[in-house]
């Protein structure tokens, strides 16, 4: 991987992490105002951005939500790097959006 590609990847990971934190902050503001449907939506996207950053860091990516879930499950849940309850949580909030 060239220096330019490495820098692009690092920038993309940073951007996705920032989006995850910003979106989480939005969810907190919405919950403070009892906007639960919108809050759950923001929580889902905060998780989506964080998982996307994690996958990119480990050389995996996709634009599709279904692919992101599959990659996360394959590389982190099935290998027990991340506890299976995390996958359940992500599935629950996705169904609520």
**Helix, strand, or coil here: 1?**
coil
35-50 core/surface letters (b: 16 or more CB in 10 A; e: else): eeeebbbbbbbbbbbb
| Residue range 31-58, pLDDT digits in tens | 999 999 999 999 999 999 999 999 999 9
More confident residue, 50 or 90: 50
Which residue segment(s) compose the domain that 92 sits in? 3-96
Instruction: Express as a percent the part of the chain with pLDDT over 70.
Output: 89
Helix (H) or strand (E) holding 16: helix 3-32
Question: pTM for this structure?
Answer: 0.83
How many domains, the chain?
A: 1
For 55, other C-beta atoms within 10 Å of its C-beta total: 20
């Amino acid at each position: 991987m060239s220096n330019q590609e490495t820098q692009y990847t690092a920038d993309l990971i940073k951007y996705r992490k920032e989006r995850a934190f910003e979106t989480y902050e939005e969810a907190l503001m919405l919950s403070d105002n009892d906007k639960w449907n919108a809050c759950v939506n923001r929580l889902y996207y905060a998780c989506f951005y964080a998982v996307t950053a994690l996958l990119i860091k480990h050389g995996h990516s996709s634009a599709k939500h279904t692919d992101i879930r599959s990659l996360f499950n394959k590389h982190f849940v099935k290998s027990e790097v991340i506890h299976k309850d995390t996958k359940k949580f992500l599935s629950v909030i996705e169904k609520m959006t």
